[in-house]
Amino acid sequence: MKLGVFVDQDTTRYCYLRLRRLKAAVKDPKIVDALAQTLEVAGVSGKQKMPAIERRIEELRRSGDSIWSEIPAPEVMAASMFKSRNVAPEVIDQLFARVARVQDLAAPLVAWLNLAGLTPYEGGAPGTGRANVVGYRGGAFLAGARIVGIEATNDVAALGNALDEKKPSREQTHASYIACTPALAAEFLWANASRAGNKRWDADALLRRLQASGCGLLLVEGDAVAQAILPKERRLTSAEIAQLSTTIHSTSKVVK
């Protein structure tokens, strides 16, 4: 199976797993064993196991009755790896950067805002909505004012609700993001695939929902944050920026 030869291994993702990590995962015996069990590959061992898995994936892709019909093989591989969590939870959780609490996302997101030249403030202030973190930069000679809202989540139901809600606060920032781990994004895709009537894997289910909401997607992997999907950029008037600046500075605390 060719896992992307002429693509960026850090920006290309399958089931929201970075290609670089996917390539490393197929060399991990624990992950390969769990994947073989998940895909019901039996009767092989050692170096024969991975080729057998690849043949099984091709069988599923050629089957019109399978959810994997005509789905790119790397996507099938990554999504099946995530499902292998039922067999090897610790190794799969590490692979997809799962966290125990939504609070575990805070420090990487604050660092990401700082690197972007934005001062992070606690979200939830009037006029800024329920964003967990609001990044603010005042206008300067070389850069204009910018306000960014980030809503972090670590629960698949909360992620769906966040995408369904029409929040006026999103129209009051230059850009809004949903932030989560690759594990939660993958879980969202599996939840979508499990819905009644969905007979085929939809790798773009989360992408479409984000685009409809105007939100971008930040994926948190340990201390690193990747901008996986760009948000809809909005223009704010000088009066709106001034009002939001006053609200942020008077009601919110700087996050350190």
Q: Residue 128 has what pLDDT?
A: 45
Band (256; pLDDT cuts 50, 70, 90): confident
Q: Residue 125 has what pLDDT?
A: 47
Q: How many CB atoms lie within 10 A of CB 208?
A: 11
Out of 92-96, 101-105, 122-126, the most confident range is 92-96
Tokens of 58: 């091709």
Mean pLDDT of 100-114: 94
Distance, CA of 230 to CA of 176 (rounded, Å): 9
Band (207; pLDDT cuts 50, 70, 90): very high
Q: Residue 5 has what pLDDT?
A: 64
Residue with tokens 């600046």: 245
Q: Residue 163 has what pLDDT?
A: 87
Question: Burial level of 245, CB count in 10 A (0-12/13-18/19+)?
Answer: middle
Q: Average pLDDT, whole number, for the chain?
A: 89
Q: How many CB atoms lie within 10 A of CB 251?
A: 14
Mean pLDDT of 216-234: 96
Q: Would you list the DSSP string of 203-254? A: TTHHHHHHHHHT-EEEEEETTEEEEEEPPPP----HHHHHHHHHHHHHH-PB
Band (48; pLDDT cuts 50, 70, 90): very high
Mean pLDDT of 100-105: 92
Phi-psi region of 114 (alpha: psi -120 to 50; beta: other; left: phi over 0): alpha
Distance, CA of 128 to CA of 96 (rounded, Å): 31
Q: Residue 196 has what pLDDT?
A: 76
Mean pLDDT of 174-189: 96
Mean pLDDT of 122-145: 68
Q: SS3 for 182?
A: helix
Mean pLDDT of 149-173: 83
CB 160 within 8 A of CB 198: no
Q: SS3 for 18?
A: strand
User: CB under 8 Å to 134, separation ≥6 — which residues?
Assistant: 120, 121, 122, 123, 125, 128, 147, 148, 149, 150, 173, 248, 252
pTM of the model: 0.91
Q: Residue 74 has what pLDDT?
A: 96
Which of 76-90, 91-105, 153-167 is predicted with the least confidence, judged by mean pLDDT? Answer: 153-167
Q: Residue 144 has what pLDDT?
A: 79
CB 43 within 8 A of CB 98: no
Q: Residue 94 has what pLDDT?
A: 97
Q: Residue 131 has what pLDDT?
A: 61
